Amino acid sequence: MEDSSPTVERAMLTRAVRIFVARHASAAGATGATGVTQGNSFASFPCPSGLGAWFELSVSLSGDPRQNNGCVATLADLDSAVRATAIRILRDALFFREDFARAQPALLVHELSSGLESALGRPIDMLQWRITPFHEVVWRQDMPTHTTVTSTFEFAASHRMHDASLSEELNRTQFGKCNWPHGHGHNYRVEVSVSADVSNPPSMAALEEEVCRHVIERFDHRNLNLDCPEFARQNPSVENIATVCFALLENPLRARGMDLRAVRVWETSKTSATVEAVPVKTTRIELQRSGVRGETVHA
């Protein structure tokens, strides 16, 4: 019988590792006499003792799983490399490094990726460093001299979905409760990603200043249909909001030395739209709605 299964030559593995970094190394959470990791490594390693900083690092690397018993890499090796490398580098940066300018995350992520490659003895594809649940820096093998920084914001606003060219009945049919005459509100979340060369790394402070000035102050606690000229002639759908935010931010961020990579707007925890910069100078919108997954349209 002929085998119809697909041939996989390369696969990418991503492993998230959570660490706790304190001024002094803690014996708690170290491997015990049996060689088994002690403590709750799902939450962090080592086990927290006193005050310190918690971080999550996700390392991605690719390879042929057929060459290593079905694995791209051994998870134990990945965990050990991330813990040994990241805890050492970040402890030094947080508590002992005198050159504070070199201790900013946009630069440290390059030092972390280089250290991980040395510890693993092989290249990695990407390193994502989640500094807080709402701040992230990323190093990528295909953009080795750049850093991507992502920060998340929020604003509260009301809107109404309505198409003046349709009858009231068709509007109610198409938009449902979103067509109520007096509108309804959302707590929107906006995730903005920028990149810049490591010689002039992206500043989270500059990113937040521009997003607050051009997006949050413009839309927060507004009726988007009535108070915002951007939506006077178009529905303030989550797709259009993401597109408008991208347009509002692209030039101001470029003036601050940052290339806008993506804007993602959440309308609810189940519905979001993402507008990305793509090489062909078009704008891609990815919609994630309840029941609609992975749909992509071009504007």
- What's the mean pLDDT when you consider all of the chain? 85
| Residue 43: band (very low, low, confident or very high) from pLDDT cuts 50, 70, 90 | confident
| Residue 38: band (very low, low, confident or very high) from pLDDT cuts 50, 70, 90 | low
Pairwise CA distance, residues 163 & 249, whole Å = 27
Q: State residue 78's pLDDT score.
A: 92
Closest CA to 122 of 156, 56, 86, 78: 78
- Has residue 29 got a pLDDT over 70? no
Q: State residue 287's pLDDT score.
A: 58
What mean pLDDT do residues 249-260 have? 97
Tens-place pLDDT, residues 184-206: 999 999 999 999 999 999 999 99
- Has residue 244 got a pLDDT over 70? yes
- Kindly report which listed range (73-82, 94-103, 114-123) carries the lowest average pLDDT score: 94-103
> What totals of helices (H) and strands (E) does the chain contain, helices first?
7, 11
- Has residue 212 got a pLDDT over 90? yes
Q: Within the chain, where are the H helices?
A: 75-91, 105-120, 168-175, 204-211, 217-219, 224-227, 238-255
Neighbours of 155 (CB within 10 A): 20
Pairwise CA distance, residues 95 & 89, whole Å = 10
What mean pLDDT do residues 95-103 have? 77
Closest CA to 147 of 100, 199, 97: 199
| Residue 101: band (very low, low, confident or very high) from pLDDT cuts 50, 70, 90 | low
Enter the DSSP assignment of 44. -
Active site residues: 178, 221, 267
Neighbours of 47 (CB within 10 A): 17
Pairwise CA distance, residues 196 & 256, whole Å = 10
Pairwise CA distance, residues 299 & 288, whole Å = 16
- Has residue 281 got a pLDDT over 60? no
What mean pLDDT do residues 109-116 have? 96
Q: State residue 297's pLDDT score.
A: 32
Tens-place pLDDT, residues 53-79: 999 999 999 888 777 777 888 888 999
Pairwise CA distance, residues 200 & 194, whole Å = 13
What mean pLDDT do residues 265-287 have? 78
Domains in the chain, CATH or no CATH each: 9-141 (3.30.479.10), 149-299 (3.30.479.10)
What percentage of residues in the chain have a pLDDT greater than 70? 84
